[in-house]
Structure 1
Amino acid sequence: MKKQLTSILLFLIFSYIGFAQIGTVKGIIKDHTNVTLFGVNVIVKNTATGTQTNEKGVFEISNIKTGNYILAISYLGFKTKEIPFKLNSNETIDIGTITLYEGNELLQEIVIDTERKNKFSRKQSAYVSKMPLKNIENSQVYNTITNQLLISQSVNTFEDALKNAAGITKLWSSTGRSGDGAGYYSSRGFAVQPQLVNGVAGITNGFINPSNVERVEVIKGPSGTLFGSAVTSYGGLINIITKKPYSGTGGEITVSGGSYDFSKLNADVNVSANDKLSLRFNAGFQQEHSFQDAGFKKSVFVAPSISYKVNNNLALNFSYEASGNEQTNETFLFLNRYAPLAFNSIEDLNYDTNLSFTSNDVAIENITQNYRGEVAWKITDQWSSQTLISGGLAKSLGYYTYLWNGSDNLFNLYAQDTDAKTKTLNLQQNFTGIFKLGDLQNKLLVGVDYLDYNIIDKSSNWGYLHTINLDGDLVYGEPEINEENLRAALSVLGNVDSNIRQNIFGAYISDVINILPSLSIMGSVRYDIFDYQGDRKTDTDDETEYTESTFSPKFGIVFQPILNELSIFANYQNGFSYLNPQYITDYSTGEISLQAFDVEQANQLEVGVKSDLFNNKLEATLSYYNINVDNKYYWATQTQDLEVNSQGIELEVNANPIDGLNIHSGFSYNDSEITKSPSATFLEGNRYGESGPEITYNFWADYKFFKNFGVGAGFNGQTKYDTMVDYKATTGSFYIPSYTIFNSSAYYENDKFRISIKGNNLADETYYSGWSTVTPQQKRVLLGTFTYKF
């Protein structure tokens, strides 16, 4: 009995001693504006012990053995902080208030955040303003198409991804041709192409494979002040965020198949060798045939990326993407711009959309490479440096063809043997600081930007092959579209031989000042220098050089009646465009002279409301904008005297009304008008040609039930518009009909795999896009996707 009592006593003593050798650390985490942060990761370094802050920003970690430790604190969009502490036996240490400062976009971002309730919402970006700003405190409007939305919709084309952005409508599909072969979209009444990757220039002449896209940011309005002129339009810009390395080891393999011989294979693997080095390799293949009697697309890409954390203050990041695309040209019926049309509607055109008027033997290839290197240096808690070097090469090789309406209902096929490449080099240096001047909190950005943009074109001159009617019957010329006939038609026409180079240097400064926690103002300005070097090999062997410069200002104000939940904003934004010198012909004398033009300027005024209510269950943006361009160049008259006004409203909503239900929707109304055109008065009062439809809308809902099962459904559409509006005084109008397209999906997923089926255009509606053209769009498509996660 004594032995048992002794054993119990010794056990209690040693247990007490053991328990007495543990302790607790706690604290509260806030941002620089004294707002508590929820969900911050707090980890005791080199242990498996950690937690997250609660709704009040408080954390507490217990059962830590006595000793010396480092507390590692990290939160997406903020600079990582480490705090050393010493814990004695049975001690509770209160660290007190810890302040985190915002920083550059973290490459260690988790690809899919399963804990996020409003999965279609993203509240912050380091790219839109080139500094970390929450959406609700940013006076500029932008739409984010998140990774979760892309997965929910089983998106396999970049065009389908952009259907989720309010006010974005497709004008042209990718043509693959040199210089401007990527797709064209209309935003706020002006044409824009996707030319920005991870915040820097990323040029492509072809279509974009979405398998390496983490998310898409559609930034609205003239944005020349921070991004310059080469990658923006007056309606905004499209920024593609690629997949990056993250802390951890894992990945996924995706296999898809569906209608029109669609097939896809994608492998995405991430490896963290240690807490400093992360590697990611993403690669894929995708192909499909057209819904028409001929046509195809093929794409293959590889995208390795690496992140190395030298220490808590210095990180090196590098990403590279190489892709090879091959496609036949989609059916572009170019309507005659110089004579009255024989038809004014789709019904009058009487076009059988099953006919492509092309051949799978005639294709164009696009080879694209883009790279981006970054040195991210945390100088102090308040100051950061970001050094960027990026570049790209986009090639166009093969045959580009199009159909031109010559007369009545006859179309002439013209072709070019393309041999061209576009090269870019982009250097950026940004410094960002968060500091106080007196009682005023400042977020300051100072940066310089250099872009070298070079287009080398050795393509053939344009040649004619044949004339057909819309039944596909040959009227005149070679009957077959094949490589042999095209080579014969083009070989005697000679070649383009041009080398055009643009060097653009910009310096900018932007400051966001918090006058009160609920009131901030933003002021920005850019000085830009443009140097054009044209070396066109002609009979006269002309060489030209042209230099121009401009200032671009930007202002904004944000008032938050409910801090971090509701804001009222207004902005003034400026955009500009350099015009390359043009050879102008004086038809009265026949003389040809080289003429330079002034820098185009666009100015926007915008007001609106943003919300992030009910603990991020309702994120919404509603705005009214008014854009004026005073000196627009018009290609037909080669004069710079158009005045264009584009105004409208946009609404985007991301909601999570109940657990498991996520909703994304958008609506846009645009009123565009050419208000003045002295050299072509017949244009006055017309809608501007790049504007597309007045109204566009989209909706998608995803409901997950029984933990693993889910369904999705939605629609997107637009009103009719006149695709010949720029020319209707001569040609008459031709209306692209309105449409609404319905889509749905069903899926099952767990930690190891996801299987889904998706139906696009369920009603099998025939619909079109166009920009002085007519192009039929995809018919009903059924897709199946299986993803294995590891």
Structure 2
Amino acid sequence: MKHLNLRIQHFAFALCLFLIATSAMFAQQNTGKIKGTITTSDGELAVGVNIILKNSKYGTITNEDGAFEFSRVKANTYTLQVSLTGYETLEQEVNVVTNETTSLDLQLKVSNKQLKEVIITNNRAKLFPKQSNYVSKMPLKNIENPQVYNVVSADLLKEQAITNYEDAMKNVPGIQKIWESTGRGGDGGSYYSLRGFETQANIVNGLPGLSNGSLDPANIERIEVIKGPSGTLFGSSLVSYGGLINTVTKKPYSGFGAEVSYLAGSFGLNRVTADVNTSVDDADNVGIRINAAYQTENSFQDAGFRTSFFVAPVLSYKVNERLSFLISTEFMQEEKTTPSMLFLGRNSPVQYANMNDLNYNTKLSFYSNDLSIKNPKYNLQGQMNYKISDQWTSQTALSRGSTRSNGYYSYIYDNENSQRDFGILITREQSQTITTDIQQNFIGDFKIGNMRNRLVVGLDYFSKNTIYNGTGWAWVYNVNAQGEKNYIDPATGLIVPGNPARDRVLTQSSVDNILSTTGVKDNNIKDATYSVYASDVINITSKLIAMASLRLDYFDTEGNIKTDADDYNQIALSPKFGLLYQPIEDKLSLFANYMNGFRNIGPMINGSTGVSKTFEPEHANQLEFGVKANLLGDKLNATVSYYDIKVANLVTADPADINNSLQGGEAQSKGFEFDLNANPFKGFNIIAGYSYNDSKVIKGDESNVWLETGKRPIWSGPETLINLWATYKFDYGSLNGFGLGFGGNYASDNVTLDSKVTGKFVIPSYTVINASVFYNVSKFRVALNINNITNKEYFNGGWSTINPQKPRNVVASFTYKF
């Protein structure tokens, strides 16, 4: 049945690609082409100019060479309209003849209105968009925003041949993967350390988008990593004190376009993607865009695999000039094995002095391809925008999602028995998480006196229901870091009777037989959050901007619906303030902010008295200041910032009663970040980042591996991170279209375990170097990417885990645009 389903998926995907190709072939009949170049009145190439054929579905923009092209245009006479802010709109009659190309050279004239601002969307803007509609829940340029965020664009993902979401994060200062995507129920996605706190990528287009598995990059327009505790605008359920990760998905655009890519690489990598966009009607009021991907890949170890199928249809409908709708969906089928992670013991002295002493054979997975877990997921988002007036817009958004975990999940956990071995522990999961989110925002842009106000007022309802079923946990056998097995039961210290080498193996039948005695889980957890928030960005002067925001959050949970003992509700207030001054308007800004985040803490039962005890919400407060620059005609975008985050009301152990908990712990995370996106000369782009983080438990427990006073928390990741990626594309001579890419990442030592009880274990620092060579023209792109060129053996980790990463690997990619 497994192979039958896989074949059906293969057939369905092949049929989809065939229909796309067939449609494109027929569309080429009775058509011609229009191509040309546009310059400005001063002779400069006009980049990012909007061009449409009036009264048709055709539209495009000029590329970095000021060139444009319309392919497969129906033979007819059209009026070509060219528009760019700050210049007069240009109209030119064009006659399209079957199987012929019409060439144009056009020049724009400066508008008599002499508009103050000319915004050109070019290749640099694609790598770093100047504006976001999500970071502040309103359209706001980065140079005007007193909050720090970093962007990873779709173009950058393509340059680096990114095939998984985690690798995209390597382009962001201050973030590091610390835990692999396990696929387990509730939180099976990858964990990252961001400004010293753990977080997951679970927000899509500003709305909830949870996943128990991996995320596919096929439908990503850009990723926004929003720094600092962002509870004021995004609540508490899906964000961390260090920030949040917002994935912005692709939307339909005017006209027709299609792109198909194939990537093949080391460890059995095969990936096919398709991106098809079309306008349904001649007036471009209805648009459809579909992104799809199919991927198979093996592990670099002796066992392990991942197979996924992803499709994301999107529909846009412009009813009239005031009312529009956008419906986005994502469907994903994923099956994989649990990635190898060694868990060091957390309750006794660590048995290994360092990585050399551990002597980890990273070619071994300690697992089996027969024990996989499936993570099907869907996400539906609907948005209605209604322009109430020239000053006010209503935005109604609905998000509905479901993510499942069905299959085998395992731990490789230190037995802590002085034998230097790890137990293989397995459970069979059957869980589902269902989320619903409804937001109503009113977004205004108006003046009070001479002060411009950009205001968002919103209501937010979010509910989550997580159902945990499946078996309990079972021990199968022990293994050391070199792969040697033994069958000594850690609970009894005795060798398992019978023939364990035959009966305790990593096959479905053997593991199911062992799990049959572990019982079953039966949990059904529900909670809901009701919120109201407001945020106002005020231009006190054209150069001085202030931001003031506030959220009121009511959290109501039933906990496990089978008992009332864990029911509770809480109210939290979350403020946010920012101040920004532009010595050079729209070019240079000095900013400072105060931001707040919070987390609701569930009731805990005193193990000594049996009495349930409630706690106040935890609160994180950030102070930050820095500089943002947008200089040299958009050729240099940079942000430098210093932050200080303090968390209060942490729950810690009661020193007088080990079974009781108290509230009052404190932690601090402070650091420095630098982000650069530059295009110093034509064809050359560079992205670079540096971050330093100093995290410490200020007030906690003695001998607590999770929260020990004076220690760096074991989820904080490396103190220092550096990222770099640079590309150069030749635009002249015989090398025209060819390009080179070079970059890599550095991470300092990572303390994955540190307490008085366990001692300290450090994952060593590493430097990984990557490179690419490519040929890119208007219709197709061919590239070869080599990752980890020096074949560096390196590891990530957190919460006492050690995760081996990929050795040297190669990815070849081919992309064709219709």
Normalising by structure 1, we get a TM-score of 0.86
Match in the other structure for 1:326: 335
1:392 is aligned to 2:401? yes
Q: 2:694 aligns with which of 653, 661, 671?
A: 671
Match in the other structure for 1:414: 425
Shift of 1:593: 3.4
Q: 2:804 aligns with which of 776, 783, 788?
A: 776
Q: How far apart, CA to CA, are the structure 2 residues paired with 1:361 and 1:94?
A: 68
Q: How far apart, CA to CA, are the structure 2 residues paired with 1:293 and 1:744?
A: 26
Question: Are the equivalent residues in 2 in contact too, given 1:251–1:789 (CA < 8 A)?
Answer: yes
Does the residue aligned with 1:370 lie in a helix, a strand or coil? strand
Question: Are the equivalent residues in 1 in contact too, given 2:341–2:803 (CA < 8 A)?
Answer: yes
Q: 1:162 aligns with which of 169, 174, 198?
A: 169
Shift of 1:52: 2.9
Match in the other structure for 1:231: 238
1:713 is aligned to 2:742? yes
Q: How far apart, CA to CA, are the structure 1 residues paired with 2:173 and 2:667?
A: 22
Change (3 A) 1:284 1:451: same
Match in the other structure for 1:457: 468
Question: Are the equivalent residues in 2 in contact too, given 1:639–1:679 (CA < 8 A)?
Answer: no
Shift of 1:38: 10
Q: 2:346 aligns with which of 337, 347, 358?
A: 337
Letter of the structure 2 residue corresponding to residue 609 of structure 1? V
Shift of 1:542: 5.0
**Gaps (5+ residues) in structure 2?**
1-40, 56-77, 95-108, 488-495
Shift of 1:358: 0.1
1:292 is aligned to 2:301? yes
Which range moves more in the overlay, 311-320 or 682-691?
682-691
Q: 1:576 aligns with which of 598, 606, 618?
A: 598
Change (3 A) 1:487 1:527: same
Match in the other structure for 1:59: 88
Match in the other structure for 2:776: 749
Letter of the structure 2 residue corresponding to residue 663 of structure 1? I
Q: How far apart, CA to CA, are the structure 2 residues paired with 1:114 and 1:285?
A: 31
Change (3 A) 1:699 1:124: same
Q: 2:484 aligns with which of 458, 467, 473?
A: 473
Does the residue aligned with 1:723 lie in a helix, a strand or coil? strand
Shift of 1:382: 1.5
1:135 is aligned to 2:158? no
Question: Are the equivalent residues in 2 in contact too, given 1:641–1:678 (CA < 8 A)?
Answer: no
Letter of the structure 2 residue corresponding to residue 743 of structure 1? N
Shift of 1:631: 1.2
Shift of 1:267: 1.4
Does the residue aligned with 2:366 lie in a helix, a strand or coil? coil
Does the residue aligned with 1:178 lie in a helix, a strand or coil? coil
Letter of the structure 1 residue corresponding to residue 592 of structure 2? A
Q: How far apart, CA to CA, are the structure 1 residues paired with 2:462 and 2:112?
A: 47
1:601 is aligned to 2:629? no
Shift of 1:659: 0.1
Q: How far apart, CA to CA, are the structure 1 residues paired with 2:179 and 2:652?
A: 20
Question: Are the equivalent residues in 2 in contact too, given 1:118–1:662 (CA < 8 A)?
Answer: no
Shift of 1:241: 1.0
Letter of the structure 2 residue corresponding to residue 631 of structure 1? N
Shift of 1:157: 1.0
Per-residue deviation, residues 577-623 of structure 1 (Å, max 9, x unmatched) = 0122234412xxxx433332210100000000000001110000000
Q: How far apart, CA to CA, are the structure 1 residues paired with 2:772 and 2:79?
A: 39
Q: How far apart, CA to CA, are the structure 2 residues paired with 1:754 and 1:39?
A: 20
Shift of 1:536: 5.7
Change (3 A) 1:308 1:475: same
Question: Are the equivalent residues in 1 in contact too, given 2:146–2:592 (CA < 8 A)?
Answer: yes
1:655 is aligned to 2:678? yes
Change (3 A) 1:64 1:292: closer
Question: Are the equivalent residues in 2 in contact too, given 1:399–1:417 (CA < 8 A)?
Answer: yes
CA RMSD of aligned residues (A): 2.4
Shift of 1:467: 1.5
Q: How far apart, CA to CA, are the structure 2 residues paired with 1:63 and 1:278?
A: 26
Match in the other structure for 1:72: none
Letter of the structure 1 residue corresponding to residue 749 of structure 2? K
Question: Are the equivalent residues in 1 in contact too, given 2:598–2:619 (CA < 8 A)?
Answer: yes
Change (3 A) 1:592 1:96: same
Question: Are the equivalent residues in 2 in contact too, given 1:157–1:210 (CA < 8 A)?
Answer: yes
Shift of 1:784: 0.5
Does the residue aligned with 1:163 lie in a helix, a strand or coil? helix
Q: How far apart, CA to CA, are the structure 2 residues paired with 1:416 and 1:640?
A: 33
Does the residue aligned with 2:681 lie in a helix, a strand or coil? coil
Matches within 5 A, 1:452-531: 452-476=463-487, 478-479=500-501, 480-531=505-556
Change (3 A) 1:468 1:378: same
Shift of 1:212: 1.5
Aligned residue pairs, count: 708
Match in the other structure for 2:106: none
Per-residue deviation, residues 171-198 of structure 1 (Å, max 9, x unmatched) = 1010000011000000001000001001
Change (3 A) 1:42 1:558: farther
**Gaps (5+ residues) in structure 1?**
1-27, 29-36, 66-91, 103-112
Match in the other structure for 1:610: 628
Per-residue deviation, residues 60-112 of structure 1 (Å, max 9, x unmatched) = 436799xxxxxxxxxxxxxxxxxxxxxxxxxx99995889999xxxxxxxxxx
Q: How far apart, CA to CA, are the structure 1 residues paired with 2:336 and 2:467?
A: 22
Letter of the structure 2 residue corresponding to residue 689 of structure 1? I
Shift of 1:473: 2.1
Does the residue aligned with 1:657 lie in a helix, a strand or coil? strand
Change (3 A) 1:43 1:435: farther
Does the residue aligned with 1:322 lie in a helix, a strand or coil? strand
Shift of 1:491: 1.3
Letter of the structure 2 residue corresponding to residue 343 of structure 1? Y
Does the residue aligned with 1:489 lie in a helix, a strand or coil? helix
Question: Are the equivalent residues in 2 in contact too, given 1:609–1:621 (CA < 8 A)?
Answer: yes
Q: How far apart, CA to CA, are the structure 1 residues paired with 2:425 and 2:771?
A: 39
Q: How far apart, CA to CA, are the structure 1 residues paired with 2:683 and 2:400?
A: 42
Q: How far apart, CA to CA, are the structure 1 residues paired with 2:629 and 2:374?
A: 45
Shift of 1:211: 1.3
Q: How far apart, CA to CA, are the structure 2 residues paired with 1:236 and 1:268?
A: 31
Shift of 1:641: 2.8
Shift of 1:209: 1.2
Letter of the structure 2 residue corresponding to residue 151 of structure 1? K
Match in the other structure for 1:353: 362
Letter of the structure 2 residue corresponding to residue 696 of structure 1? L
Match in the other structure for 2:788: 761
Question: Are the equivalent residues in 1 in contact too, given 2:652–2:701 (CA < 8 A)?
Answer: no
Q: How far apart, CA to CA, are the structure 2 residues paired with 1:516 and 1:119?
A: 30
Change (3 A) 1:38 1:529: farther
Change (3 A) 1:117 1:678: closer
Which range moves more in the overlay, 604-613 or 496-505?
496-505
Match in the other structure for 1:688: 713
Q: 2:219 aligns with which of 208, 212, 216?
A: 212
Matches within 5 A, 1:106-117: 115-117=122-124
Question: Are the equivalent residues in 2 in contact too, given 1:497–1:536 (CA < 8 A)?
Answer: no
Matches within 5 A, 1:183-332: 183-274=190-281, 275-332=284-341
Question: Are the equivalent residues in 2 in contact too, given 1:466–1:475 (CA < 8 A)?
Answer: yes
Per-residue deviation, residues 36-72 of structure 1 (Å, max 9, x unmatched) = x996748795363322336xx232436799xxxxxxx
Match in the other structure for 1:545: 567
Letter of the structure 1 residue corresponding to residue 672 of structure 2? I
Question: Are the equivalent residues in 2 in contact too, given 1:198–1:239 (CA < 8 A)?
Answer: yes
Per-residue deviation, residues 450-486 of structure 1 (Å, max 9, x unmatched) = 1011111112111211112222222115441111121
Which range moves more in the overlay, 123-132 or 544-553?
544-553
Q: How far apart, CA to CA, are the structure 1 residues paired with 2:544 and 2:110?
A: 36
Does the residue aligned with 2:638 lie in a helix, a strand or coil? strand
Per-residue deviation, residues 341-379 of structure 1 (Å, max 9, x unmatched) = 111210010111111100000011101110100001111
Q: How far apart, CA to CA, are the structure 2 residues paired with 1:748 and 1:598?
A: 58
Change (3 A) 1:159 1:43: closer
Question: Are the equivalent residues in 2 in contact too, given 1:118–1:617 (CA < 8 A)?
Answer: no
Shift of 1:680: 5.5
Question: Are the equivalent residues in 2 in contact too, given 1:641–1:679 (CA < 8 A)?
Answer: no
Q: How far apart, CA to CA, are the structure 1 residues paired with 2:722 and 2:165?
A: 18
Q: How far apart, CA to CA, are the structure 2 residues paired with 1:93 and 1:655?
A: 27
